[in-house]
Amino acid sequence: MMTITEDEAAGPHDPRTPAPARPRTSLRRTTTIDTHRPEGILGPPVIEARGRDLWTAADGSTTVVDTAHIAADLDGRQHHLVRITSDPEVPEIQALLGAVVGPGFRSKVDRAVPDLRGTGALLYLLLDDLPGATLVAGYAMLHAGAIGDSAPHDEYLDARGDLCAGWAVDATMMQLIKSTGRNPVNRGPVAPPITDGDDDLAFHPTEPLDPHGMRRLRRLDVLTPTEPGAPVPVAVFFRDTHVDGAGTETIVHEYAVDLTVDAATRTVVDIEARAGVLPWRECPGALGSAARLPGRPLAELRPWVRETFVGTTTCTHLNDVLRGVADVDPLLDVVATHAR
Protein backbone atom coordinates (compact mmCIF):
# COMPACT_ATOMS: atom_id res chain seq x y z
CA MET A 1 0.00 0.00 0.00
CA MET A 2 1.23 3.51 -0.77
CA THR A 3 -0.32 6.59 0.82
CA ILE A 4 -0.52 9.84 -1.09
CA THR A 5 -1.90 13.20 -0.05
CA GLU A 6 -4.83 14.97 -1.66
CA ASP A 7 -2.44 17.49 -3.22
CA GLU A 8 -0.52 14.71 -4.95
CA ALA A 9 -3.48 13.04 -6.60
CA ALA A 10 -6.85 14.59 -5.88
CA GLY A 11 -8.86 16.80 -8.14
CA PRO A 12 -9.84 20.34 -7.13
CA HIS A 13 -11.93 20.58 -4.01
CA ASP A 14 -13.93 23.18 -2.19
CA PRO A 15 -14.33 22.04 1.44
CA ARG A 16 -17.15 23.97 3.06
CA THR A 17 -19.93 23.65 5.58
CA PRO A 18 -22.57 22.30 3.19
CA ALA A 19 -25.79 22.45 5.23
CA PRO A 20 -27.50 25.82 4.98
CA ALA A 21 -30.56 26.43 7.09
CA ARG A 22 -33.62 24.70 5.68
CA PRO A 23 -35.18 26.76 2.89
CA ARG A 24 -38.69 27.99 3.64
CA THR A 25 -41.48 26.03 1.90
CA SER A 26 -39.30 23.10 0.98
CA LEU A 27 -39.02 19.37 1.40
CA ARG A 28 -35.62 18.21 2.63
CA ARG A 29 -34.66 14.54 2.28
CA THR A 30 -31.57 13.41 4.20
CA THR A 31 -30.03 9.94 4.40
CA THR A 32 -26.94 8.35 5.88
CA ILE A 33 -25.51 4.86 5.46
CA ASP A 34 -22.90 4.11 8.13
CA THR A 35 -20.62 1.09 7.90
CA HIS A 36 -19.02 0.02 11.19
CA ARG A 37 -16.48 -2.70 12.00
CA PRO A 38 -17.06 -3.37 15.72
CA GLU A 39 -14.88 -6.51 15.68
CA GLY A 40 -11.91 -4.67 14.15
CA ILE A 41 -10.84 -3.78 10.65
CA LEU A 42 -10.94 -7.43 9.53
CA GLY A 43 -14.30 -8.07 11.17
CA PRO A 44 -17.65 -8.26 9.35
CA PRO A 45 -19.27 -4.95 8.37
CA VAL A 46 -22.32 -3.74 10.28
CA ILE A 47 -24.58 -1.24 8.50
CA GLU A 48 -26.90 1.39 9.94
CA ALA A 49 -28.91 3.32 7.35
CA ARG A 50 -31.28 6.15 8.22
CA GLY A 51 -33.37 8.69 6.38
CA ARG A 52 -35.89 11.45 6.96
CA ASP A 53 -38.17 13.65 4.85
CA LEU A 54 -38.92 17.01 6.48
CA TRP A 55 -41.37 19.64 5.22
CA THR A 56 -40.68 23.26 6.20
CA ALA A 57 -43.61 25.66 5.73
CA ALA A 58 -43.41 29.36 4.92
CA ASP A 59 -43.84 30.24 8.59
CA GLY A 60 -40.90 28.02 9.58
CA SER A 61 -43.02 25.24 11.08
CA THR A 62 -41.97 21.69 10.24
CA THR A 63 -43.59 18.31 9.62
CA VAL A 64 -41.78 14.97 9.49
CA VAL A 65 -43.22 13.38 6.37
CA ASP A 66 -41.37 10.06 6.44
CA THR A 67 -38.56 8.21 8.21
CA ALA A 68 -36.77 4.95 7.50
CA HIS A 69 -34.12 2.78 9.13
CA ILE A 70 -32.22 -0.33 8.05
CA ALA A 71 -29.86 -2.43 10.17
CA ALA A 72 -27.84 -5.07 8.36
CA ASP A 73 -24.89 -7.40 8.91
CA LEU A 74 -22.60 -8.61 6.14
CA ASP A 75 -20.12 -11.46 6.21
CA GLY A 76 -16.44 -10.56 5.81
CA ARG A 77 -15.09 -9.58 2.42
CA GLN A 78 -17.66 -11.38 0.28
CA HIS A 79 -20.41 -9.04 1.59
CA HIS A 80 -23.20 -11.60 1.70
CA LEU A 81 -26.20 -10.22 3.56
CA VAL A 82 -26.65 -12.30 6.74
CA ARG A 83 -29.14 -10.12 8.66
CA ILE A 84 -31.47 -7.25 7.80
CA THR A 85 -34.26 -5.43 9.61
CA SER A 86 -36.16 -2.33 8.62
CA ASP A 87 -38.46 0.34 9.99
CA PRO A 88 -41.03 0.50 8.52
CA GLU A 89 -41.02 -3.28 8.63
CA VAL A 90 -41.20 -4.93 5.21
CA PRO A 91 -41.09 -8.73 5.59
CA GLU A 92 -40.34 -9.19 1.88
CA ILE A 93 -36.79 -7.85 2.28
CA GLN A 94 -35.86 -11.09 4.05
CA ALA A 95 -35.71 -12.58 0.55
CA LEU A 96 -32.46 -10.62 0.16
CA LEU A 97 -30.66 -12.73 2.77
CA GLY A 98 -27.66 -14.49 1.26
CA ALA A 99 -27.37 -12.02 -1.60
CA VAL A 100 -24.07 -10.25 -2.22
CA VAL A 101 -24.45 -6.53 -1.53
CA GLY A 102 -22.71 -5.61 -4.75
CA PRO A 103 -23.34 -6.11 -8.48
CA GLY A 104 -26.85 -7.39 -9.11
CA PHE A 105 -28.18 -6.46 -5.66
CA ARG A 106 -30.42 -3.68 -6.96
CA SER A 107 -32.16 -6.09 -9.33
CA LYS A 108 -32.77 -8.41 -6.38
CA VAL A 109 -34.25 -5.47 -4.43
CA ASP A 110 -36.65 -4.74 -7.28
CA ARG A 111 -37.77 -8.37 -7.33
CA ALA A 112 -38.12 -8.54 -3.54
CA VAL A 113 -40.08 -5.29 -3.09
CA PRO A 114 -41.56 -4.40 -6.49
CA ASP A 115 -44.26 -2.26 -4.88
CA LEU A 116 -41.60 0.17 -3.55
CA ARG A 117 -39.95 0.81 -6.91
CA GLY A 118 -40.78 4.22 -8.31
CA THR A 119 -42.63 5.35 -5.19
CA GLY A 120 -39.84 7.58 -3.87
CA ALA A 121 -40.02 5.74 -0.55
CA LEU A 122 -37.08 6.44 1.74
CA LEU A 123 -36.72 2.73 2.46
CA TYR A 124 -36.27 2.00 -1.24
CA LEU A 125 -33.56 4.67 -1.55
CA LEU A 126 -31.64 3.13 1.37
CA LEU A 127 -31.89 -0.37 -0.13
CA ASP A 128 -30.89 0.92 -3.57
CA ASP A 129 -27.89 2.76 -2.11
CA LEU A 130 -26.49 -0.16 -0.10
CA PRO A 131 -24.25 -1.55 -2.90
CA GLY A 132 -22.58 1.82 -3.56
CA ALA A 133 -22.03 2.50 0.13
CA THR A 134 -20.64 -1.00 0.67
CA LEU A 135 -18.26 -0.63 -2.27
CA VAL A 136 -16.90 2.64 -0.93
CA ALA A 137 -16.62 1.19 2.58
CA GLY A 138 -13.78 -0.98 1.32
CA TYR A 139 -11.65 2.17 1.45
CA ALA A 140 -11.41 1.71 5.24
CA MET A 141 -9.58 -1.60 4.82
CA LEU A 142 -7.29 -0.16 2.18
CA HIS A 143 -6.47 2.87 4.33
CA ALA A 144 -5.72 0.65 7.34
CA GLY A 145 -3.40 -1.57 5.30
CA ALA A 146 -5.65 -4.59 5.81
CA ILE A 147 -5.75 -5.45 2.11
CA GLY A 148 -1.98 -5.73 1.78
CA ASP A 149 0.74 -4.20 -0.35
CA SER A 150 0.34 -6.19 -3.54
CA ALA A 151 -1.58 -4.55 -6.35
CA PRO A 152 -4.58 -6.28 -7.98
CA HIS A 153 -3.68 -8.80 -10.67
CA ASP A 154 -3.71 -7.93 -14.35
CA GLU A 155 -7.07 -9.57 -15.02
CA TYR A 156 -8.66 -7.44 -12.32
CA LEU A 157 -7.16 -4.24 -13.74
CA ASP A 158 -8.08 -5.14 -17.31
CA ALA A 159 -11.70 -5.71 -16.28
CA ARG A 160 -11.86 -2.25 -14.68
CA GLY A 161 -9.87 -0.29 -17.21
CA ASP A 162 -11.91 2.66 -18.54
CA LEU A 163 -14.73 1.80 -16.12
CA CYS A 164 -15.03 5.49 -15.20
CA ALA A 165 -12.95 8.68 -15.27
CA GLY A 166 -10.86 7.65 -12.26
CA TRP A 167 -10.26 4.14 -13.61
CA ALA A 168 -9.20 5.25 -17.09
CA VAL A 169 -6.27 3.11 -18.24
CA ASP A 170 -4.05 6.18 -18.67
CA ALA A 171 -5.28 7.93 -15.50
CA THR A 172 -3.31 8.59 -12.30
CA MET A 173 -4.60 5.65 -10.26
CA MET A 174 -4.02 2.98 -12.89
CA GLN A 175 -0.59 4.36 -13.74
CA LEU A 176 0.42 4.37 -10.07
CA ILE A 177 -0.66 0.76 -9.67
CA LYS A 178 1.22 -0.35 -12.76
CA SER A 179 4.38 1.61 -11.99
CA THR A 180 4.67 0.81 -8.27
CA GLY A 181 2.92 -2.54 -7.98
CA ARG A 182 1.07 -1.23 -4.95
CA ASN A 183 -2.40 0.00 -4.09
CA PRO A 184 -2.40 3.82 -3.82
CA VAL A 185 -4.39 5.29 -0.93
CA ASN A 186 -5.70 8.80 -1.37
CA ARG A 187 -6.10 10.97 1.73
CA GLY A 188 -8.72 13.72 1.53
CA PRO A 189 -9.30 16.85 3.64
CA VAL A 190 -10.92 16.84 7.06
CA ALA A 191 -14.70 16.77 6.78
CA PRO A 192 -16.41 19.94 8.05
CA PRO A 193 -19.62 19.52 10.05
CA ILE A 194 -22.70 18.79 8.03
CA THR A 195 -24.64 21.41 10.00
CA ASP A 196 -23.60 24.89 11.09
CA GLY A 197 -25.16 24.56 14.55
CA ASP A 198 -27.87 27.15 13.96
CA ASP A 199 -30.55 24.75 12.76
CA ASP A 200 -31.20 21.62 14.80
CA LEU A 201 -33.51 20.25 12.12
CA ALA A 202 -31.18 20.79 9.16
CA PHE A 203 -30.26 17.10 9.19
CA HIS A 204 -31.65 13.97 10.80
CA PRO A 205 -29.87 12.87 14.00
CA THR A 206 -26.62 10.94 13.47
CA GLU A 207 -24.09 9.30 15.75
CA PRO A 208 -20.31 9.86 15.50
CA LEU A 209 -18.49 7.24 13.49
CA ASP A 210 -16.08 4.90 15.24
CA PRO A 211 -12.51 4.44 13.93
CA HIS A 212 -12.45 2.74 10.50
CA GLY A 213 -16.09 3.72 9.95
CA MET A 214 -17.48 4.99 6.64
CA ARG A 215 -20.51 7.18 5.96
CA ARG A 216 -22.45 7.86 2.77
CA LEU A 217 -24.52 11.02 3.20
CA ARG A 218 -27.15 12.58 0.97
CA ARG A 219 -29.23 15.74 1.15
CA LEU A 220 -31.93 16.69 -1.37
CA ASP A 221 -33.99 19.91 -1.19
CA VAL A 222 -37.11 20.30 -3.33
CA LEU A 223 -38.21 23.94 -3.11
CA THR A 224 -41.54 25.44 -4.02
CA PRO A 225 -41.28 27.50 -7.23
CA THR A 226 -41.17 31.28 -7.11
CA GLU A 227 -44.47 31.53 -8.99
CA PRO A 228 -47.10 29.09 -10.32
CA GLY A 229 -45.84 27.15 -13.31
CA ALA A 230 -42.20 28.15 -12.83
CA PRO A 231 -39.53 25.42 -12.82
CA VAL A 232 -39.00 23.77 -9.43
CA PRO A 233 -35.52 24.31 -7.95
CA VAL A 234 -33.77 21.22 -6.57
CA ALA A 235 -30.45 21.11 -4.70
CA VAL A 236 -28.53 17.88 -4.07
CA PHE A 237 -25.50 17.24 -1.87
CA PHE A 238 -23.56 13.94 -1.61
CA ARG A 239 -20.57 12.98 0.50
CA ASP A 240 -18.61 9.83 1.43
CA THR A 241 -16.39 10.09 4.51
CA HIS A 242 -13.93 7.85 6.36
CA VAL A 243 -12.75 7.89 9.98
CA ASP A 244 -9.17 6.72 10.46
CA GLY A 245 -7.72 4.83 13.40
CA ALA A 246 -7.09 8.10 15.26
CA GLY A 247 -10.71 9.22 14.91
CA THR A 248 -10.18 11.87 12.18
CA GLU A 249 -12.99 12.06 9.62
CA THR A 250 -11.94 12.93 6.07
CA ILE A 251 -13.80 13.26 2.78
CA VAL A 252 -13.47 10.59 0.11
CA HIS A 253 -16.07 11.83 -2.42
CA GLU A 254 -18.18 14.98 -2.52
CA TYR A 255 -20.58 16.30 -5.16
CA ALA A 256 -23.20 19.06 -5.33
CA VAL A 257 -25.87 19.26 -8.03
CA ASP A 258 -28.33 22.09 -8.71
CA LEU A 259 -31.16 21.55 -11.17
CA THR A 260 -34.65 22.68 -12.07
CA VAL A 261 -37.52 20.44 -13.10
CA ASP A 262 -40.80 20.99 -14.89
CA ALA A 263 -43.56 19.92 -12.49
CA ALA A 264 -46.06 19.48 -15.32
CA THR A 265 -43.98 17.23 -17.60
CA ARG A 266 -41.84 15.77 -14.79
CA THR A 267 -38.67 16.34 -16.76
CA VAL A 268 -35.29 17.91 -15.99
CA VAL A 269 -35.04 21.47 -17.35
CA ASP A 270 -31.41 22.30 -16.59
CA ILE A 271 -28.65 21.02 -14.34
CA GLU A 272 -25.18 21.86 -13.02
CA ALA A 273 -22.91 19.39 -11.21
CA ARG A 274 -19.94 20.54 -9.12
CA ALA A 275 -17.09 18.62 -7.55
CA GLY A 276 -16.34 19.20 -3.90
CA VAL A 277 -13.68 16.58 -3.08
CA LEU A 278 -12.68 13.75 -5.41
CA PRO A 279 -9.79 11.31 -5.09
CA TRP A 280 -8.06 11.64 -8.49
CA ARG A 281 -7.23 14.42 -10.92
CA GLU A 282 -9.26 12.82 -13.66
CA CYS A 283 -12.47 12.42 -11.62
CA PRO A 284 -13.88 15.93 -12.29
CA GLY A 285 -13.91 15.02 -15.98
CA ALA A 286 -17.15 13.17 -15.30
CA LEU A 287 -19.06 16.32 -14.33
CA GLY A 288 -20.06 16.96 -17.94
CA SER A 289 -22.13 13.77 -17.98
CA ALA A 290 -24.82 15.55 -15.95
CA ALA A 291 -25.59 17.65 -19.04
CA ARG A 292 -27.30 14.59 -20.55
CA LEU A 293 -30.22 14.87 -18.12
CA PRO A 294 -32.16 17.93 -19.41
CA GLY A 295 -35.25 16.74 -21.24
CA ARG A 296 -35.21 13.34 -19.55
CA PRO A 297 -38.26 12.17 -17.56
CA LEU A 298 -37.51 11.95 -13.84
CA ALA A 299 -39.17 8.54 -13.54
CA GLU A 300 -36.71 7.01 -16.04
CA LEU A 301 -33.49 8.25 -14.46
CA ARG A 302 -32.64 5.25 -12.28
CA PRO A 303 -32.58 2.59 -15.01
CA TRP A 304 -31.41 5.00 -17.72
CA VAL A 305 -28.35 6.23 -15.81
CA ARG A 306 -27.45 2.71 -14.70
CA GLU A 307 -27.66 1.36 -18.25
CA THR A 308 -26.09 4.22 -20.23
CA PHE A 309 -23.66 6.10 -17.97
CA VAL A 310 -20.56 3.98 -18.52
CA GLY A 311 -16.97 4.69 -19.51
CA THR A 312 -14.45 7.42 -18.82
CA THR A 313 -16.90 10.32 -19.19
CA THR A 314 -18.76 9.14 -16.10
CA CYS A 315 -18.16 8.48 -12.39
CA THR A 316 -19.68 5.62 -10.40
CA HIS A 317 -20.48 7.91 -7.49
CA LEU A 318 -21.80 10.82 -9.55
CA ASN A 319 -24.01 8.24 -11.26
CA ASP A 320 -25.41 7.36 -7.83
CA VAL A 321 -26.14 11.05 -7.26
CA LEU A 322 -27.90 11.45 -10.60
CA ARG A 323 -29.93 8.26 -10.20
CA GLY A 324 -31.25 9.61 -6.90
CA VAL A 325 -32.76 12.60 -8.72
CA ALA A 326 -35.51 10.19 -9.82
CA ASP A 327 -37.03 10.55 -6.34
CA VAL A 328 -37.93 14.16 -7.15
CA ASP A 329 -40.82 12.84 -9.28
CA PRO A 330 -42.95 11.48 -6.39
CA LEU A 331 -41.61 14.11 -3.99
CA LEU A 332 -43.15 16.83 -6.18
CA ASP A 333 -46.56 15.46 -5.17
CA VAL A 334 -45.58 15.65 -1.51
CA VAL A 335 -44.49 19.26 -1.94
CA ALA A 336 -47.71 20.18 -3.75
CA THR A 337 -49.84 18.58 -1.02
CA HIS A 338 -48.09 20.38 1.81
CA ALA A 339 -47.89 23.69 -0.08
CA ARG A 340 -51.68 23.68 -0.33
pLDDT tens for residues 36-95?
999 998 899 999 999 999 999 989 899 999 999 999 999 987 899 999 999 999 999 999
CA distances from 144 to 38, 71, 141, 149, 173 (A): 15, 25, 5, 11, 18
Confidence of residue 326 (pLDDT cuts 50, 70, 90): very high
Over the stretch 260-315, which tens digit does the pLDDT of each residue have? 999 999 999 999 999 999 998 899 999 999 999 999 999 999 999 999 999 999 99
Instruction: Say if residue 154's pLDDT is above 70.
Output: no
User: Over pLDDT 90: what percentage of the chain?
Assistant: 69
The reported pLDDT for the residue numbered 8 is: 43
Mean of pLDDT over the chain: 88
Q: Determine the pLDDT at residue 152.
A: 59
Instruction: Judge whether residue 151 has pLDDT over 80.
Output: no
φ, ψ dihedrals at 252, nearest 5°: -100, -50
Q: What is the pLDDT of residue 155?
A: 63
Domain range summary for the chain, segments of one domain joined by +: 2-339
pLDDT higher than 60, residue 325: yes
| Residue 14, pLDDT above cutoff 60 | no
